[in-house]
Each structure stands twice: as structure tokens, then as C-alpha cells.
A and B are shown apart, each in its own frame.
Chain A
């Protein structure tokens, strides 16, 4: 459905996108996870034809020119910046963008009402956008791209600076769209969002994709081991009784507590449980995409 091959884009001496390649299948949600300035927005702008790549090729639904009208009609782009007319009302904004996408009459009215419902703005649709909160503007910014029911969605950090309520509403909307079978590219620097929403994630930094896979595989490959911490009922613990049930050579213990690393936490827990010892408490610290990024770049996502 979407294919990017060896994309390159530079601004003078600064390389914004460097040899980026990926493929997104129909109905898949693909995440671009990286810190600010990693090249996510430039990649989106290349995909939707706002920028021309210095090198490389883009294929969208079989067509290689993002500038074609039929390609643009199949795209819904949610820009990172709030691209709204703040002097107009939500209703006027939606009507205007709907007309730009060729909607009119009853169909326009239905789509506008539907989008207002999705954004939770039906009650305040006749207020000027300038009077809205940041979250409301974000929601409107998103639904303006859904008016024409595009099969492909490019969402560029759609939750930046929003309140938890708006964030959840945006997540719910995206999940609904996933269920409807739309193809989505989602950029973010929040690993929780990529983990929750994306089938496949590319870790991007300094314009290069460092690795790309589903979340589980990325964590397995780059996340490092999980940590398990257990406290037993028995006050003076005989460590030799426990050792056969733990594979980690770096087992640490102190009185009734043990701590060890494992790459397969569920299996390790099951094995530990089979020892017959009784626990007071059990903590499992699994790895996530933040650890993946840290291990791949030596930096945290929000550094």
C-alpha cells in the first residue's frame, strides 16, 4: 500500500532523511518512533508530496507521484502544527475543508456532523476555533483530515500537548480507524503510543531508521532482559533451594529477597512458581520501546 525506498532529503548541510526505506501493508498501522528532529515530519511531508525527495522513490497505492489528484484524495494528513482557521468556527472549518475535497450538499452535511461527533465538538461547533482549548483544537485538527474518508492516514504527532481526555479520544478514534481497515502511518516520540497503536514500528534517529519490526520483536532484539524481584515468606532463605529454578547467573539475594534478569519473564515466573516456595511479593520489570531506543542510540527518547 505504501512503500518508501531509499528516501533522502537534505536542507543545506543538514541531512533530515537519510536512506529511509519501509513498506506498510494495507490495513496496517505503522509507527515512526523517534525524538524531536529525528526526521519524522520530513518523512511525512515527503510521503504526502509537500516536499520532493533528493533521492528515493515513494509508492502510494501503486502510484509513484504523490502529487496526483487521485493520490491526494486517498490521503488524510493530520499535520503536527494546528492547521486551522482560528477566525472561523469549527463548523465553518469543516465545511470549507469538505468542499475542498469535493463534498457538497447532504453528503457534506453528514460528514461534517460525523466528524464533529468524533471530535466531541458537536455542542460547540458554532464557536470560533480561537476560543477552543488546545485539546479541542487538536481533535478538530485531526477530524478535518477525515472528512473525505481517506483509506490512508498520515498522522504526524497528533497528541502533542493535549490533555489526557483529548488524548484518549484521539486514541479511540485511531483504534476505530484501524478496525475499519485503514492504512495508518503514525509518528510520535511517545513510546506508549507506538506500543499501544502500532502493528509495526520503525525506530528513527538523525534521519535514519535504526530498526523496524513489531513491538515485541523490537523489545526482544534490543530491549535487553526483564527484571524479576521476589520476596519470600521464609525469612532465612536458603538460596541453594532456589537456584535450580533460576537460569540467571547474576542472581542477587539478600535475606528473603531475590532479583534476577530474564529475557522470557513469563516462563521464568512459571519456573520459579514450580519451586513450591511461597511469596510475599513479586515484581516484574519488563522492557519497553524506551529501552529499545536507549540501547540503539545511547540516549533516551526525550533527551
Chain B
């Protein structure tokens, strides 16, 4: 055991003597966690500060009021442009959409609700439906707010009533009785507009468009509570993958520069030497897990839900990748070839296993392929302990898969290594 420890300590010394190794093994996973943790922590809040261009061809009092309503909305960033400039910006993707207020936009109810002659246009990319829908909601809100202000203008309302009265009197498609009824309603409305005192007029016509009370209900989370909980297992995996590649290459390096043979000549079995490498790899990966766990707690205020399950999940993950390290080191006889082949395999495993993009964001047709990647099972096992609230029984399945992959890879690796050496 002392000899295995000596081998492992020597490997750790060699590892930390190379700054490049230190970065890829220790630094990269931390940067990965910080970077993607920060990115994903903004997810789920919807698009904020959507930039849109406004073209005001109406230049009426109402259109100015409407634009100022839009400008006051935090969800939008408004830039005033000419029609040509606005459409060009949409085309180049510099703004999400362009709103064009045509001449007549502020002429009254007719202009706003006419279905025959639209008084404003939305220019946007048809493929971005979610953004467009979100924008339409914001525009409607601003439109009703601007209109609500108009209702408090007594003269404007009287003018509208006079306009509608004129249209009713000249309408040819209405029954006489219906026309009489509407004209009586107009008389009443006119009386109201004339007689109502200022306070009740303003209060009555200028209420909130949507009158609702906010009820704060804390959601019961079935998924991760914070974005970092999603990133945490991925960051751990990247640390382990970096370690796996580094130690696999270090075995090849030992074989090419003769130190592996020097050790074999000594009073060590091949199993001793490989156990030393495996121990060093295991210890380094465990250290990375500790760093990230502490970082998760201190920086992202994220903790592991079930630490007792995290330990077996972590151990099975580490054993799996130690086994894979042994296999990867046999893929080439030089550091370059083993490194190239090793990283290619690692990248594929990470890609299909959810190491780069969480599985939930992957296309459904690609997800079944993830079953063959140990990265998927590792993330699944770690997530089980971190936020999925696994029971011990739930954890057995991914852990057994990891141990099986690790054992098979270790066996294959040692057999291939023996063949290559002999």
C-alpha cells in the first residue's frame, strides 16, 4: 500500500508541476461552473430589455403618448428610426422587431380598432414567434394605457360621441328601432360627459386596465432550485474528464520515456503501478469535487440535498472514470495519439451525455443515445443526490451502470496494456 501511495503522490507532484495540467484539471471546471452558472442563472425570467425600433409616421399627440408608454416599460428598449432604417435593423438582427405607427394612428377609435385599414405594423422575423407574441402583449398593454388616458379627455370623448351619433344618423344598414335605441344611449353618454364632476369622471374612466391583486405563492420545486445545481454536476464531470485525459496521457508518457519500464523492473507488479495511477486520478478528482462543492456553497449558496447519497454517487463516478482512464491510455503509443483519441472519445461522451448541454435542452431524438455515455449516468447519479431527491434505491441503477462501465474499461485497458508491452 505504501508503494501505491508513493506512486500516487509522485503522480500528483508531476501533475502540479505543470501549469497547463493544473489549469485543465483544477481551473477549467471552476471557470466552467462560474461561467455557465452565471448564464443559466438568468434563464426562466423571460426576455428582458427587448430592443425594438419605433417608426412614428403619425406624429400625433396620441402616438407620442403611446411611444412614451412603451419607453416607460422596463421590458423594452426603444429606438426611434425611419421606416427604412428600422426594417434594415430587423433584417440584420440588431433589433427584435420594428413597430411602425402609420399616419392616422391617433385619429380615434376608428383608427385603433379598424380591421380594414391597420394603422400600425409590426416588422419581425416570422421564425421568432415567441418573441413576437411577447411583444404583441406589451404593445396591447401600452395601447390600452394610452387609450385610458384619452378617456379622461372630456372634449375628446364628446367629439367621439358626436362622431358616432353622426354615423348612426346616416347609417342605412340599421333598423329604425335599433338606431333610436343607440341614439338614446348617445344622448345619455353626452349628458354624463357634460354633467359628471371632474373627480368622478377621472376616477371612473381612468382605472387600471387590468385590476388584479398579486398573490405571492412559492412554487414547490420538482427540479433544481438554482441554475447552479444544474451546472454543478456538469462542472464536476468536466473536472473528472480533464483528469481522466491527463492521467491517461501521463501513463503513455511514462511508457514512452521509459519510467514505466523502470517501475516494472522494480519490486512492483503491473497492478501496483496501475493502482498508483488510479489512486492519483481518484484523489485528484475527489479534490476537484471538494473544491466545487465548497464553491457551490460559498459562491452560489447551493448545497447538496443529500450528502449521504452524494458520497456513493461520487465514488461510483470516480471509479468509472478511473477505469476509462486505463482504457484511454491504450488508444495510442504516443502522447499525441493517445491524447487525440482520448479527447475525441471524451468529447463525444460529454456531448451525448449532457456534459455540454443539459439533457433537457437536447433534441428528443438524441436523448436515447445518451444511455451509452457514462457522462449521462454520472450526472444523473450526482443530480440524484444534489437536487433530484433520490432514494438509495433510485441511486442503485445509475451507480451499477457506472461501476459496470468502469470495470469493463479497466479490464479492457489492462489487457490491452499487457499485450502492447509484451
Contacts and interface: CB of A to CB of B under 8 A. Distances in A.
A101 B267 contact: yes
Given A79-B258, A99-B3, A87 B14 contact: yes
B262 A77 contact: yes
Contacts of A102: 3, 267
Interface stretch (A17-25, A32-40, A46-54): A46-54
B422 A83 contact: no
Contacts of A72: 265-267
6 tightest A-B CB contacts, nearest first? A83-B258, A81-B258, A87-B17, A83-B262, A99-B6, A77-B265
Given A96-B6, A99-B2, A50 B13 contact: no
B266 A88 contact: no
A97 interface: yes
Nearest to B21: A87
Given A88-B17, A100-B267, A82 B258 contact: yes
Contacts of B17: 87-88, 128
A84 interface: yes
Of A83, A86, A128, chain B has the most CB atoms within 10 Å of the CB of: A83
Interface in A37-64: 48-52
A111 B82 CA distance: 87
A83 B267 contact: no
A237 to B, nearest CB: 61
A279 interface: no
A52 B6 contact: no
Contacts of B2: 99
8 contacts: A82-B257, A83-B257, A83-B262, A85-B10, A88-B17, A100-B266, A100-B268, A101-B267
Interface string B262-283: 1111111000000000000000
A191 interface: no
Interface residues of A, number: 28
A79 B262 contact: yes
Interface in B5-45: 6-7, 10, 13-14, 17-18
Contact of A92 (B13, B258, B259, B264): B13
B261 interface: yes
Nearest to A49: B265
Contacts of B13: 87-88, 92
Contacts of B258: 79, 81-83
B335 to A, nearest CB: 13
Interface in A113-153: 128, 144
Interface in B392-422: 422
B265 A48 contact: yes
Contact of B18 (A81, A82, A84, A87): A87
A107 to B, nearest CB: 14
Contacts of B262: 77, 79, 83, 97, 144
B263 A75 contact: no
A294 to B, nearest CB: 32
A18 B109 CA distance: 107
A100 B265 contact: no
A73 interface: yes
B3 A100 contact: yes
A13 interface: no
Interface string A60-78: 0000000001001101010
Nearest to B264: A50
A135 B263 CA distance: 22
Contacts of B261: 50, 79, 83
B52 to A, nearest CB: 58
A73 B267 contact: yes
Nearest to B10: A96
A85 B13 CA distance: 10
B3 A88 contact: no
Contacts of B268: 100
Nearest to A70: B267
Nearest to B272: A100
Q: Which residue among B7, B259, B261, B263 has the maximum number of chain A CB atoms within 10 Å of its CB? A: B259
Contacts of A144: 262
Nearest to B421: A50
A102 B264 CA distance: 15
Contacts of B257: 81-84, 86
Contact of A88 (B7, B14, B265, B422): B14
Contacts of B14: 85, 87-88
Contacts of A84: 257, 259
A40 B14 CA distance: 32
A97 to B, nearest CB: 7
Contacts of B422: 51-52
B259 A85 contact: yes
A286 to B, nearest CB: 38
Q: Which of B6, B267, B422 has the most CB of A within 10 A?
A: B267
Interface in B209-268: 257-259, 261-268
A132 B267 CA distance: 28
A182 B17 CA distance: 37
Nearest to B266: A100
A141 to B, nearest CB: 9
- In the complex, which of the residues B13, B17, B263, B266 has the most CB atoms of chain A within 10 Å of its own CB atom? B266
Contacts of B6: 96, 99-100
Contacts of B7: 100
A50 B263 contact: no
A96 B6 CA distance: 7
A87 B222 CA distance: 49
Given A87-B13, A128-B17, 5 more contacts: A50-B265, A81-B258, A84-B257, A99-B2, A144-B262
A211 to B, nearest CB: 29
Given A50-B261, A99-B3, A88 B10 contact: yes
